Amino acid sequence: MNKVIERTMIVPNMHLLEIETPEIASKIKPGQFIIVRANDEGERIPLSVADWNSEKGTITIVFMEVGASTGALACLQAGDELATCVGPLGNETQIANYGTVLCIGGCYGIGSIYPVARALKEAGNQIITVLEARSSYLLYWVKKFATLSNKIFNITRDGSLGMKGHINRLTEIINSLPKPPDRIIVNGCTYLMAHASELTRELGITTLVNLNPIMIDGTGMCGVCRVTVADQRKFACVDGPEFNGHEVDWKEFLARRKAYMNEETLFFRKSAPKPAVHKEGKCQA
Ligand SMILES: Cc1cc2nc3c(=O)[nH]c(=O)nc-3n(C[C@H](O)[C@H](O)[C@H](O)COP(=O)(O)OP(=O)(O)OC[C@H]3O[C@@H](n4cnc5c(N)ncnc54)[C@H](O)[C@@H]3O)c2cc1C
Ligand code: FES
């Protein structure tokens, strides 16, 4: 159960994890997530599903190594078993023919937006893709996106590939298109989603974001993932994780995400295998 088929670092600090879990693989839909625990002592963390193969009974995750739990996942090898793998959780992305959809992915969100873009393409949409990273060596799946995108824009902070800058180039990208997209979907870090929503609010284009608050149970029981959307209290795990980015209270969201920052940092310093001390394929913790 929950056997690791593959765990590879695809770009620095970003890992691909393929897990054998036939039940989840047969039910998962674009936009949904799972909750995993790397080992019996580990905490439960939510991760979006980036791909799956229902015949083989496997799902694929792309995760960024940021702290203790993702550090433990980064030490897994083919043949290991996850202590917990629960899902599918959350609501699926509403797939329909909207016309043109602009899909934006940054850091782990490049992986998680892939099945969304693929399903939207299959539904007849024109897909414009924007991939964002600090440098070209941190971008991945560019070729995979190129095969399903009508147009693809890469943005790198250092200008080593595509446009130089960050998501602040979004308005320029939209203005360069023959007509504005009918909707925009953004997956990735909080800054990327909040900033993109701020820019598209002015343009009046529906913008959906895949919120990533702290979660525990992922089934609406604990209340940890509470967010305010359109002045209403929502639980991201059962009401989301996808919401209208123009309606999210981003200030509150950012504050709640940092709630356990000190404890996490302390724990990570004390116990976790740091990215610098484990070599690919060989955990030295
Ligand atoms: C629905 C959903 C889908 C997600 N999908 C992905 C994904 O596909 N790939 C990926 O790399 N990450 C994803 N995340 C974020 C991922 O869950 C966190 O990066 C992870 O929990 C960090 O754990 P850690 O112990 O390694 O780091 P920590 O030391 O716990 O924290 C590092 C950072 O992550 C934040 N964080 C801590 N715990 C959580 C938590 N339980 N949920 C969310 N954020 C947290 C902290 O505020 C801090 O900013 C997703 C989050 C949600 C809610
Ligand atoms: S994670 Fe507990 S209510 Fe959403």
Residue nearest to atom 2 of ligand 2 (CA): 222
pLDDT at 98 over 50: yes
Q: Which of 2-6, 159-163, 188-192, 260-264 has the lowest mean pLDDT?
A: 260-264
Helix (H, G, I), strand (E, B) or coil at 81: strand
Residue nearest to atom 10 of ligand 1 (CA): 63
Binned at pLDDT 50, 70 and 90, residue 257 comes out as confident
62 and 202 assigned to the same domain: no
CA of 125 to the centre of ligand 1 (A): 31
CB 91, CB 240: distance < 8 Å: yes
Residue nearest to atom 31 of ligand 1 (CA): 67
70 and 137 assigned to the same domain: no
Closest CA to 76 of 136, 16, 131: 16
Ligand nearest to C-alpha 236 = 2
Average pLDDT over residues 262-267: 68
125 and 111 assigned to the same domain: yes
**What residues are in contact with ligand 1 under a 6 Å CB criterion?**
33, 45-48, 61-64, 66-71, 108, 112, 212-215, 241, 257-258, 261, 264, 268
Q: What is the CATH number of the domain that holds 187?
A: 3.40.50.80
Tokens of 236: 């991201």
CA of 49 to the centre of ligand 1 (A): 14
What are the angstrom distances between the C-alpha of 241 and each of 71, 91, 111, 174, 213? 24, 7, 16, 25, 9
For residue 221, give the DSSP letter. Answer: S
CA of 152 to the centre of ligand 2 (A): 35
245 and 112 assigned to the same domain: yes
Average pLDDT over residues 189-203: 95
Give the number of domains in the chain: 2
47 and 80 assigned to the same domain: yes
Range of the domain at 268: 3-90+263-276
200 and 143 assigned to the same domain: yes
Tokens of 51: 């791909």
Tokens of 85: 């793998």
**What residues are in contact with ligand 2 under a 6 Å CB criterion?**
215-218, 220-225, 235, 237
CA of 54 to the centre of ligand 2 (A): 27
Ligand nearest to C-alpha 274 = 1
Binned at pLDDT 50, 70 and 90, residue 284 comes out as very low
Q: What is the CATH number of the domain that holds 71?
A: 2.40.30.10
CA 269: distance to chain centroid?
25
pLDDT digits (tens, 9 = 90+) for 100-112: 999 999 999 999 9
pLDDT at 191 over 70: yes
Tokens of 26: 């047969």
The pLDDT, as a whole number, for residue 277 is: 45
On whether residue 10 sits in a domain, the answer given is yes
Rounded Cα distance between 3 and 21, Å, is 7
pTM: 0.91
155 and 249 assigned to the same domain: yes
Atom number of ligand 1 nearest to Cα 43: 25
pLDDT digits (tens, 9 = 90+) for 231-245: 999 999 999 999 999
221 and 111 assigned to the same domain: yes
On whether residue 188 sits in a domain, the answer given is yes
On whether residue 285 sits in a domain, the answer given is no
CB 192, CB 163: distance < 8 Å: no
162 and 220 assigned to the same domain: yes
